[in-house]
Amino acid sequence: MTHPPRLNAARLGGLPAAIERPTYDRAQVRCGIVHLGIGAFHRAHQAVYTEDVLKSGDLAWGIVGASLRSPDTRDALAPQDSLYTIAVRETAGETLRVVGSILEVVVAPEDPEALIARMSDPDVAIISLTVTEKGYCHDPATGRLDEAHPDVVHDLANPHRPRSALGFITAAIARRQAAGTRPFTVMSCDNLPANGQTLKGILSRFADLVSPGLGRHVREAISCPDTMIDRIVPATTDADRSHVAGVLGLTDAWPIMTEPFTQWVIEDHFVSGRPAWETVGATLVKDVAPYEAMKLRLLNGSHSALSYLGYLAGYETVAEAMADAAIAAYVAALMEDSTVTLTLPEGADVAGYKRSLIERFRNTALKHRTWQIAMDGSQKLPQRLLGTIRDRLARGLPVERHALAVAAWMRYVTGIDEAGQPIDVRDPLAAEFRSLADAAGQDAEKLVAALIGVRAVFGEDLASNAVFRTAVTTALASLFDNGAKATVATYG
Ligand code: CS2
């Protein structure tokens, strides 16, 4: 098969007329943001808002992206002048757009010093992050720095050759402080509860361990705004690549697939300025917490439930799982159960929000794999499901539906599916879960007792809560005996 020529700056003019593209002079754009964790999610979300700011004429906010591990994104984007396509897909059709806000991608492990130098540039006012939950080197149950984390230990011993986001940020803060450069804002765009505050706590503690003076400087000079970010971004497949090449007439080695919906709520606390994201659709507020809880508990809570139950029931994508009437009824009921625990944002139409979520999950044009969402459950469960369970328990409300989602996760991390086939469980604690599961066999009571004892996930309180334990055990026994499809039908 012959591929069309590569997408690049010189070829932008030859794109089909309908395809939106950068209209500003990219050579004039300065780097105001260094983004750590330059994956698909950033490219479908923050980079697009920032692209719109550049289009409006403020050229101070180009992005330099950094990969903390693999060179894949840099290798894909470098030959195409860091341009890439987003394909916005809905059941009714698709819109393509070429984005230019990313100026360059650097690969941190190849040259850690080069990244620290970039982050220390006086033009840089914001360090943003999408490093996924596990990238914070924290204890998900408490939100505190995990001081025994191998990356933390490594970075404290090698401050000039860090591996983790925390290590890079701290090195750049120290260097800027020493040089008298203005401080920057560190903006988490990950799905953590109170992501900014949590990051600030983790970062200050990390800096304390470098030196008490640096810890104080982080507390006093660095701002870490909370953000709520929302856009569904399934992993790109080779079929997506071929399709996009067909429409563009050019090869894009890494186009991004996403949905029409996008939302960004940001706490307006930036110590050295920010792009006018509010002029391009973002909402700047004082308090992100109500938005974030609504999104994490309704969208992500349902997503995790759908991923484990859907995978076990044999569904490859979220849309396929949602086409199963019993699963759809269960998800709707689960959302109702979560809603009572929320303090809603002022003026929020929560019923409309839930309807839109159901519609988004049903988007058949997005092939969002249940397996993809199932990843890293140990890092996701606390803020997506367990907080809701705690709140319902505190109010004396039943927790069966949420317990079923937790039980489905337990069934999933055994690593063997309902047909006896292996499951490729991706989780930093996968090996620990697997050995606990092997020891418990298909004994629901034993498996619940073992997994609930993992404090980093369940904390002390849930481990010793009899109501919770019974609800999870009942659900897990049914998953073992009757399978996911039959079980979920009794929880709707
Ligand atoms: C998903 C999220 O993979 C996952 O865990 O639940 O990435 C989800 O698609 C986004 O948070 C939507 O904004």
**Average pLDDT along the chain, 492 residues, taken 10 residues at a time:** 90 96 97 98 98 98 98 98 98 94 98 98 98 95 96 97 98 98 98 96 98 98 98 98 97 98 98 98 97 97 98 98 98 98 95 98 96 97 97 98 98 97 97 96 97 95 97 98 98 94
Q: Quote the ligand 1 centre to 265 CA distance (angstroms).
A: 16
CA-closest residue to ligand 1 atom 7? 232
- Ligand 1 centroid – CA 373 distance (Å): 7
Q: Whose CA is nearest to atom 9 of ligand 1?
A: 232
Q: Which CATH superfamily is domain 9-285 in?
A: NAD(P)-binding Rossmann-like Domain (3.40.50.720)
Q: How far apart are the CA of 380 and the centre of ligand 1, in A?
A: 10
Cα–ligand 1 centroid distance for 225 (angstroms): 20
Three-class secondary structure of residue 340 per DSSP: coil
- Given this model, what pLDDT does residue 260 score? 97
For residue 380, give both structure tokens: 């996701």
Atom of ligand 1 nearest to the CA of 230: 13
Atom of ligand 1 at shortest distance to CA of 304? 6
| Nearest protein CA to atom 5 of ligand 1, as residue | 373
Q: Return all residues near 65 (Cβ < 8 A) that are at least 6 apart.
A: 34, 35, 38, 42, 73, 102, 104, 105, 106
pLDDT for the residue numbered 92? 86
Domain ranges of the chain: 9-285, 289-488
Give the start-end residues of each E strand in 208-339: 227-230, 256-258, 263-267, 283-285
DSSP string, 341-400: T--PPTT--HHHHHHHHHHHHT-TTS--BHHHHHTTHHHHHIIIIIHHHHHHHHTT---H
Q: Is CATH 1.10.1040.10 what the domain over 289-488 is classified as, yes or no?
A: yes
- Whole-model pTM? 0.96
d(C-alpha 227, C-alpha 267), whole Å? 6
Which residue owns the Cα nearest ligand 1 atom 13? Answer: 230
pLDDT at 1: 58
The pair of structure tokens assigned to 138 is 């924290």
Q: What pLDDT was estimated at residue 2?
A: 73
How far apart are alpha carbons 51 and 60 in whole angstroms?
A: 11
| Closest by CA position to 222, among listed 241, 248, 203 | 203
Show the ligand 1 pocket: residues with CB < 6 angstroms.
191, 230-232, 299-300, 303, 372-373, 380
Instruction: Identify residue 410 by its one-letter amino acid code.
Output: M
Per-residue pLDDT, 418:
97
